[in-house]
Structure 1
């Protein structure tokens, strides 16, 4: 897979970054600078379609994963993870997201205010995946400041796209357990309200 950063360099806004992320998830782009190893294993096509839709209507996903409860032959958990989404969201879309999740019960739902160059406190994030030996995978939802965000998108974002991404909310949505479908229900509602 070639690392063609050209479309990402041409992005001028948070909406452009969402559209490009949606195109990458849909298989229309071969490369995403935040995921240089290739496409994610996101499970069913309906989840991928939903992620494409939310990226095209205001939310830019940084990380997304389905729930998983993997056990060995004796029924002992080997790997377990919450369904989760970590994304950027513009001010204007936050009320729409909150409305979509009014009666949805999640393990965690938070929105971190605008990113800055320097923070006195940095939140380490939420552990959403772990293994039998109690080792955790990389957490999601940690505070990212502007230079981290610039690196995430390949280091070559336009000033306007970087400014909008840096001014966005970091949204963390985590389902209650591996089988939880509430997260996806709330995101379907969010996608359905696009343009309203």
Structure 2
């Protein structure tokens, strides 16, 4: 990691600071982020998700991992199925409630680890290779992993992460259709897309007859 990036991450004190820096990394404004290969940007499959991830990070949900929903033959000739999913940390309980409400409305799966309430859900397999489990989301890193991932951060930022809610939101089915539903619902939470209520109101406004001219 460059000295400039190291200083930037070291200056972060809050989860909001970390989210802003993560958004900068996603958009290519930062070359590196903690816990990731230095001078490497997001994975190729993340490219289409960048606007959604940036919006989540700037809203207060610091994302640490995400994936699109797919059902296809992979690079190795095996059949890969992925549930669209995202996970990370947040301390804003209003945002947390909004994400949970959006997930519940569409039957998305949530995995919560909340130090404040003691809730700790089981991890969920999100990727399979030829029908065998390959990747799971929802596991909160332990103390040793946290030191390895975020040891370069200021202690106040590490304290924020330790007390934050660790949240994963997962599409209930694998493949593109469920992928679109998951990311659209998250975009509505962050305001990147209008909510269904806004769409309904716009349709209602369009249906009204124009007022008579005077």
Cα drift, residue 128 of structure 1 = 1.3
Q: Which has the higher contact order (CA 8 A, sep 6+)?
A: 1
Alpha-carbon distance in structure 1 between the residues aligned to 2:143 and 2:14 = 15
3-state SS in 2 of match to 1:127: strand
Structure 1 runs not aligned, ≥5 long: none
3-state SS in 2 of match to 1:42: helix
Counterpart of 2:149 (choices 131, 149, 152) is 152
TM-score normalised to the size of structure 1? 0.79
Cα RMSD for the two superposed structures: 2.7
Counterpart of 1:126 (choices 124, 127, 131) is 124
Alpha-carbon distance in structure 2 between the residues aligned to 1:100 and 1:125 = 20
3-state SS in 2 of match to 1:128: strand
- The number of equivalent residue pairs is 181
3-state SS in 2 of match to 1:33: coil
Partner of 1:165: 161
Cα drift, residue 191 of structure 1 = 0.7
Distance 1:109 1:133, change over 3 A: closer
Cα-to-partner distance string for 1:97-121 (whole Å, 9 max, x where unaligned): 2233341222x21221128xxx9xx
Alpha-carbon distance in structure 2 between the residues aligned to 1:56 and 1:146 = 26
Alpha-carbon distance in structure 1 between the residues aligned to 2:122 and 2:33 = 24
Cα drift, residue 140 of structure 1 = 2.0
TM-score normalised to the size of structure 2? 0.73
Distance 1:102 1:189, change over 3 A: farther
User: Deviating runs (4+, > 6 A) in structure 1?
Assistant: none
Alpha-carbon distance in structure 1 between the residues aligned to 2:88 and 2:16 = 13
Cα drift, residue 49 of structure 1 = 0.6
Contact 2:57–2:63 (8 Å) recurs in 1 = yes
Please tell me whether residue 177 in structure 1 is matched to residue 174 in structure 2.
Answer: yes
- Structure (1 or 2) with the larger CA radius of gyration: 2
